[in-house]
Amino acid sequence: MIRNAELHDLFQIIELEKKVFKEPLTKEFIYQELTLNPFSYYLVLEVKKEIIGYIGFRVVDEVAEMMNFAIDPEHQGQGYGKEILNFVLNAFKDKNVKTITLEVRKSNKKAIHLYESYGFIQSHVRKQYYGNEDGIVYIKEVTP
């Protein structure tokens, strides 16, 4: 089940961040996104009442910027990433979003493959964006 993230999901989202990323987003950052940022749009993916994935965006006017996207490593490769990404792309059509942007580590080949399979196009490279690793910026135009 995909649903809007709520404050009570914070602990599970943080645990998922720690499982998936070398440098996870902080509890404070996600707390602010869920409670204070009027432009944030966060969804969780639950299986048997356990959050196994989440995706977060900031949506301003016609542009959505992906803040983070994580699927529990135990559930990767089973189509859950595609499920939540499809959900978001359909929801953005209703929100009048025209463009989606994101950054991804140059070494994250799985994510790059997923994004490119969905029509995201490399825009440019941000040198040392992730400390000692470049970030690749991708853009996708949302079609109605």
Phi, psi angle pair for 131, to nearest 5°: 75, -95
What number of CA atoms fall less than 13 Å from residue 3's CA on the CB side?
11
Of these residues, 42, 54, 115, 138, which one is catalytic?
115
**Could you confirm whether 42 is annotated as catalytic?**
no
Element of type H or E holding 114: helix 109-117
Q: Is 64 left (phi over 0), alpha (psi -120 to 50) or beta?
A: beta
Of these residues, 46, 83, 103, 133, which one is catalytic?
103
**Beta strand ranges found along 49-98 (DSSP E):** 50-60, 63-71
**Could you confirm whether 23 is annotated as catalytic?**
no
**Beta strand ranges found along 23-109 (DSSP E):** 40-47, 50-60, 63-71, 99-105
- The set of catalytic residues is 103, 115
